[in-house]
Amino acid sequence: MQILPYFENIEEIVIEDLKAAKKEILIAVAWFTNKKIFEMLIDKLKSETNIVVKLVVINDNINNRINGLDFQKFISAGGIFYYAEKNIPMHNKYVVIDSKTVITGSYNYTYLAESTNEENVIRIDGSSDIVQSYIENFNNIVSKKQPISNVKDYLEIFPPCVDMFSYKNYVIKDIYQEAESLKRFGNADEAEKLINSIPISIENNRIHSYVINNVIYKQWKSTYYVDKIEVDHKRIVIKFRTPLSDGCWLGAPNTRSAWVLRLSMNKEVQEYCYNIKNVCINDNVILKQVRKGYVYYFYKNSLLTDFSNNSCGYGVNENKQLIDSNGKLVPVKQLKCSTNDILTCEVCFKTERMEFINGIVDLIEGDGYEQDDNHWNAFSINMALNRE
């Protein structure tokens, strides 16, 4: 095995190894704009009929920039393409070639990396445990993703993240993580001081309405998204989205699975959802608003009548119907969906507390789960710093 470092002409080194590839190329790179490297991949796919080329990049506005790479062209040539999740920055920069060569380091496949930045890579040549580790890492990254067949359709459902590594998107999240670490070690007061020390440039008491189009948040479940938040004085409307690949439960107000909004730093302070409106499948409205007290189930293929394995926390009677803690039937509305359908809805809250307008809030699905640390939905939304 040979290991060599390189600090200049990295583009040339990468391209020469890509030219020599015979069986497989695995690329995990945060940003990819270099057309010379990209066209080398297209050429390999067209000239080597048995070669496998897989590529994963971040779904952000750099990889989807004006005059950026045509990833659909890569797919059409036979490449296997993935976007990494927006909320989990895939910051790798490596390529594995024919299970025996790895090139990795600070170098993204961009023009800035080649022409301006001070960069480095190391080239590991020869089958080894190190090379195998990179193969395993790549397979782990893509294991929970579906290859993308149509880039345009995908980006309409999952728009690129804007300025992923700007101050708002990176530094603020890093501060949140530091606060979480402090809390884990029993320093809750210090964690709260750290969060409260983040500068807010907007005068809190004068802001009564605003819209957040690019919401910064963490997630408990990677397939649940917050697309937009509207604040109008004492009303908060959160637009929620999820793919329906495995079906979905939706709890209306006055049900156990209804949404709750709580203050991140004080779990005792909560507001309960009072309405869910504009429920859509693939942007087509199927419910203008839900009925209070109802549980909605989006099912695939065949009608679900057996609720014995339900996940809403209800009991089940001898007829396999949902019942509450008093034995009363819970009304259920079942709605058919398909594997590729996308559900969106607007979750509405009212509040008299300015902390919900200006503070850090958690969005939780499930009345009765407010005190848990782990939930299904988005949390730690900084309402003030998110403002545009």
Does the structure show a pLDDT above 90 at 301? no
How high is the pLDDT of residue 82?
A: 96
How high is the pLDDT of residue 359?
A: 74
For 226-266, how does the pLDDT look when each residue is reduced to its tens digit (9 = 90+)? 888 998 878 999 999 988 877 788 889 988 888 888 887 77
How high is the pLDDT of residue 203?
A: 43
For 328-347, how does the pLDDT look when each residue is reduced to its tens digit (9 = 90+)? 888 888 888 887 899 999 99
The larger pLDDT score, comparing residue 112 to residue 388, is at 112
Distance from C-alpha of 99 to C-alpha of 26, rounded to nearest angstrom:
9
How high is the pLDDT of residue 159?
A: 80
What pTM was computed for the model? 0.64
For 97-115, how does the pLDDT look when each residue is reduced to its tens digit (9 = 90+)? 999 999 999 999 999 999 9
Task: Identify the CA nearest to 56 among candidates 148, 120, 178, 119.
Answer: 148
Q: What does the CA dihedral 278, 281, 284, 288 come to, rounded to 10 degrees?
A: -20
How high is the pLDDT of residue 200?
A: 52
* pLDDT confidence tier of residue 361, bands split at 50, 70 and 90: confident
Domains of the chain in start order, with CATH, are 2-153 (3.30.870.10), 203-382 (no CATH)
Distance from C-alpha of 318 to C-alpha of 329, rounded to nearest angstrom:
12
Alpha carbon distances (Å) from 376 to 313, 341, 359: 14, 19, 21
Q: How many CB atoms lie within 10 A of CB 30?
A: 21
Task: Identify the CA nearest to 86 among candidates 65, 59, 64.
Answer: 59
- φ and ψ of 189, to 5 deg: -65, -40
Task: Identify the CA nearest to 373 among candidates 262, 294, 287.
Answer: 262
For 150-180, how does the pLDDT look when each residue is reduced to its tens digit (9 = 90+)? 999 888 877 887 777 776 667 777 877 788 8
Q: What is the mean pLDDT of residues 184-193?
A: 86
As a whole-number percent, the residues of the chain with pLDDT over 90 amount to 42
What is the rounded average pLDDT for all residues in the chain?
85
Does the structure show a pLDDT above 80 at 57? yes
Burial (CB count within 10 angstroms: exposed 0-12, middle 13-18, buried 19+), residue 174:
exposed
Does the structure show a pLDDT above 50 at 205? no
How high is the pLDDT of residue 199?
A: 59
* pLDDT confidence tier of residue 384, bands split at 50, 70 and 90: low
Does the structure show a pLDDT above 60 at 378? no
Distance from C-alpha of 95 to C-alpha of 116, rounded to nearest angstrom:
21
Does the structure show a pLDDT above 60 at 48? yes
Alpha carbon distances (Å) from 372 to 176, 187, 264, 366, 368: 18, 18, 12, 10, 9
* Dihedral of alpha carbons 259, 263, 264, 268, sign: negative
